[in-house]
Each structure stands twice: as C-alpha cells, then as structure tokens.
Amino acid sequence: MKIEKEIKGEIFCSSINEFYVKLKLRDERLDWFELDLVNKEIQSHLEKGTQILLGISTYDDYIRLIKDLGLKLPVHLGYKEHWTPKFNEYYVFVDSNGITHSHSIDKTGYHTADIKKAEYYNMFPTYGLAKKVVNLSKLDRLILLWQYANDCLFEPDWGDDSQVKYKVVFDSYTNTPDIDLSFYVKENRIYFKTRKQAKAFVEMYKKEIKDTMEI
C-alpha cells in the first residue's frame, strides 16, 4: 500500500478497546476513522474518496495503514478492564478471617455492601481465585481480577531460574508506576508472564496503583 508522503496521522484512544486516527494532508484535516481492536471491527470508515485514494476497504487494510503511517498503538489497547460481577450474577469474597463466601448481585444493582467490596477489589468469579488473594494487597487483588478478565492468569515457576517474572513497582525517582522483574526472589505478590501484559496494566491503572500504594 503506497502512502503519499504528505499524509500524516495521529492516534487517539476513545475507550479501553477503541481508538480513532485523524489524517492530515499538508497539515490540513483530511479524514478520520475508528477501530475496535478487541472485536476487530471498523467503527467509523474513511470517506469513500479517501478509501479509494489510499486503497482501504477492510479492517486489515486500516491496520496496515496505521503501520505505514508509522503510528504505534497504545500498549493497553485490546485489554479488558478487571472482572466485576454483573447484575444478578454470583461472586465470591474473602472476609476478615480469610474465609471465602458467595453472594449474588441483586437484579436491581449493587447494594452498599457490594459497592464496598468492589472498592477493595474483593469480588471474584470463583472460589479458587478468591482463595489465592488471602493475605494479598489491594493492588494484587486488582491485578488478579485484570488477569482473569484478559485470560492471562500466571503461575510463576520458582524452580526455573531462567523464567522472567514481571511485577508492578513504583519508581520514586520518576514518581511513576513502573515494571520490575524477578527470576528467583519470591515475594507474596501477583506476577505477570510478559512485559507487554504488565505494561498494559500499568497504563490502564496508573491512578489506582498510586492510590493503593498510598502515594
């Protein structure tokens, strides 16, 4: 696909899964389009004339256009927010004694007790997941729920010194959340399998990371 050198692009996030791209021709607004990265759908097409000019018609064509324009997708695009129960759906929580219980969200919505549990990320889809968070921090509970929603739960192999385990930390020098790694030093925390996953989580939850670390 040949792109005219005069055409430039700029990318913007419109939601967790969706983004739009503005095209400019000689610094003048040309056109725009919007994509859903998770469902691989075109939310808004370019105008017909622009499609013909750039040879664009399918979702894959738009993705190639983005690459040809030298644009990079934000790292968190394509990932879902952490799991929360829907109305009339069961969840499992952990009480102050570390005992798990099940409860159901009312069909009319969240009640006060549900809201409190949601604020502390103390709502889980299964007993197995809930039991993993006993004695874990509020941040680690959020990480676990996010991993569950994105189908990337990770059990580190501490017998394998060559396996990289990624973790969320706070860099006091730059005053920003960051990613660190571990090979064999085990801490009571939730790890990520890949740097990409850890980076996506950090990009999505910068405020929550600061809040939970009380920074």
pTM here is: 0.67
pLDDT in tens, the chain (215 residues): 445 568 888 888 877 678 889 999 888 888 999 998 877 899 999 999 999 988 899 999 999 999 888 888 777 777 888 999 999 899 999 998 888 999 999 888 899 999 999 999 999 999 999 998 887 889 999 999 999 999 999 999 999 989 999 999 988 888 889 999 999 888 889 999 999 999 999 999 999 998 888 66
Q: Where are the beta strands (DSSP E) in the chain?
A: 7-13, 18-25, 28-36, 41-44, 90-94, 100-104, 165-171, 176-182
Distance CA 107, CA 111 (A): 10
Q: Where are the beta strands (DSSP E) in 1-40?
A: 7-13, 18-25, 28-36
pLDDT at 5: 65
Q: Where are the domains of the chain?
A: 7-68, 90-212
Count other Cβ atoms within 10 Å, centred on residue 112.
7
List, for residues 67-118, the tens digit of each pLDDT value: 888 888 777 777 888 999 999 899 999 998 888 999 999 888 899 999 999 9
**Half-sphere exposure of residue 33, counting CA atoms within 13 Å on the CB side?**
23
pLDDT at 1: 46
pLDDT at 4: 56
pLDDT at 129: 92
pLDDT at 58: 94
pLDDT at 208: 92
